[in-house]
Amino acid sequence: MKAEKRGFKNLSQEYIVYALLELMEEKAYSDITITEITQRAKIARRTFYLNFASKQDVLNTYFNSLFLDFMDALRDYSYSDLREKARAYFKFWEEKLSLVLLLEKNHLFELLIKKYSEKLSDQDFFNSSRDLGKTFSERELKIVILFNAAGLWKMLEYWALTGQRESAEEMATIFYKIVRNE
């Protein structure tokens, strides 16, 4: 049950994902082998291939799981305005900044950005005309969503790389000022 809730089909997937993440703390992603992952996860190589096609597939599964956690966390907030939504975003990632740094170290942060930008563009979170204070056509709104998602990711990257000098609240306020041009 726990594995399903987190976006994993079974415990083997969860073990494999976390084995890869542990190994990434010790060595470069590009140098990690499937054999090392299976040994760390304490599973048979065959089990790996029953669940995943590649290391990239492992990361994609993890990113999907994270996205489910992300959307659950955002649902827990009551959003009165765009600033609250941005605060929820930064609060979620505040607890996961070590992951952001790990991905950055392994040159994989861009993969996370790409995955989440695709997923966020399908969500009704940072995209309402009410939040932005402007009226957009459907096509314009899609572009605005992608623009805001990319801006949030670059802000997150900056925040992680500079050691979180600003609070989550301050980052949300900065985002709000930029987007609302206030």
Distance, in Å, from the CA atom of 162 to the CA atom of 159, rounded to the nearest integer, reads: 5
The H helix count followed by the E strand count for the chain is 11, 0
Share of the chain above pLDDT 90, in %: 44
Answer whether residue 74 shows pLDDT above 80. Answer: no
pLDDT on residue 120: 64
pLDDT on residue 88: 86
In tens, the pLDDT along 97-119 reads: 999 999 999 999 888 887 777 66
pLDDT on residue 122: 57
The stretch 165-169 carries a mean pLDDT of 92
**pTM for this predicted structure:** 0.79
pLDDT on residue 3: 40
- Are 148 and 179 within 8 A, CB to CB? yes
In tens, the pLDDT along 125-139 reads: 655 666 666 777 878
Distance, in Å, from the CA atom of 171 to the CA atom of 2, rounded to the nearest integer, reads: 32
Answer whether residue 11 shows pLDDT above 80. Answer: yes
Distance, in Å, from the CA atom of 79 to the CA atom of 46, rounded to the nearest integer, reads: 46
| Residue 120 tokens, joined | 């966020």
- C-beta pairs of 106-115 under 8 Å, 24+ apart in sequence: 106/24, 106/28, 106/29, 106/30, 107/29, 108/29, 108/59, 109/157, 111/59, 111/63, 112/63, 112/153, 113/150, 113/153, 115/60, 115/63, 115/64, 115/67
Domains of the chain: 1-54 (1.10.10.60), 77-182 (no CATH)
Q: How many residues does the chain have?
A: 182
Tell me the backbone φ, ψ of residue 44, rounded to 5 degrees.
-75, 150
pLDDT on residue 22: 96
